[in-house]
């Protein structure tokens, strides 16, 4: 793989990749033409498939999404460690199965169908942090898919609901604290 392609796949600049090669951090060779070729060995073990839909109404899509990813990984020769299926908003930063996956160390690659299946916000942050751990994310379909308006609407509603719950939760906490203070004041009298 050319050094420029390697840099793009890792989400780093070409200059950073060049410096890494010059420091001996990358296994690469330079052709007589000057092109630097990085020796990239495909991850053949430790692959986790992650499939997600926003609501339980799309459960059938969840199963077919996971099946498409299994076929993709088999075709690439990947050893599939596990298939994770999750129902939840792409903007929810506390999805139990995703959090558990990110805390595990027994894989080298997460395979998703689209970037937004992993997360709607902060995909590149996740990719950078996983790269720091020697892991990566492979997105099967990089095409922009803005045709899922209902999915986007569901995520928007989830954001609003989450903020409303926080606001009302804070108010309830404040009322509870005020009640405790009144009870303590009565006890002191």
pLDDT in tens, 72-119: 988 888 889 999 999 988 877 889 999 999 999 889 999 999 988 988
Q: In this predicted model, which residue has the larger pLDDT, 41 or 186? A: 186
pLDDT in tens, 21-63: 898 888 889 999 989 998 876 544 589 999 999 888 888 899 9
Task: Please report where in the chains the tokens 């075709």 appear, as a residue.
Answer: 75
Strand order in the sheet with 80-87: 80-87, 47-53, 109-112, 136-139
Cα 52 to chain centroid distance, Å, stands at 11
Distance of CA 125 to the CA centre of its chain: 9
E-strand spans in the chain? 28-30, 36-38, 47-53, 80-87, 109-112, 136-139
pLDDT at position 55: 85
pLDDT band at 66 (very low <50, low <70, confident <90, very high): very high
Cα–Cα distance between 75 and 31 in angstroms, integer? 31
CATH of 47-139, one of 3.40.50.1390, 3.90.1150.10, 3.40.718.10, 2.60.120.560: 3.40.50.1390
Per-residue b or e along 101-115, where b marks 16 or more CB atoms closer than 10 Å to that residue's CB: beeeeebbbbbbbbb
Per-residue pLDDT of 128-182, as tens digits, reads 999 999 999 999 986 655 445 566 666 677 677 767 777 777 677 777 778 888 8
Q: Could you tell me which of 79, 93, 8 has the C-alpha nearest to residue 49?
A: 79
Beta-bridge partner residues of 86? 52
The domain ranges of the chain are: 3-38, 47-139
**What is the pLDDT, as a whole number, of residue 112?**
95
Task: For residue 160, report the phi and psi dihedrals to the nearest 5 degrees.
Answer: -60, -45
Predicted pLDDT of residue 43: 41
C-alpha dist (Å) from residue 178 to 167, 168, 186: 17, 15, 12
pLDDT of residue 63: 92
CA-wise closest residue to 158 among 112, 124, 121, 111: 121
């Amino acid at each position: 793989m050319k050094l420029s392609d390697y840099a793009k796949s890792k989400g780093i600049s070409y200059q950073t990749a060049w410096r890494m090669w010059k420091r001996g951090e990358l296994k690469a060779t330079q052709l007589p033409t000057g092109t630097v070729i990085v020796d990239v060995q495909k991850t053949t073990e430790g692959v986790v498939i992650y499939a997600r839909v926003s609501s339980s109404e799309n459960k059938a899509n969840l199963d077919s999404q996971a099946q498409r990813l299994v076929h993709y990984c088999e075709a690439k020769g990947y050893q599939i460690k596990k298939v994770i299926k999750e129902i939840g908003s792409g903007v929810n930063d506390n999805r139990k199965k995703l959090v558990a996956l990110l805390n595990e160390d027994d894989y080298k690659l997460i395979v998703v169908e689209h970037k937004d299946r992993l997360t709607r916000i902060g995909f590149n942050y996740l990719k950078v942090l996983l790269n720091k751990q020697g892991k990566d994310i492979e997105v099967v379909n990089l095409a922009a898919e803005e045709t899922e308006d209902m999915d986007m609407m569901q995520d928007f509603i989830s954001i609003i609901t989450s903020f409303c719950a926080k606001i009302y939760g804070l108010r309830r906490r404040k009322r509870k604290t005020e009640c405790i203070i009144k009870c303590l004041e009565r006890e002191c009298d």
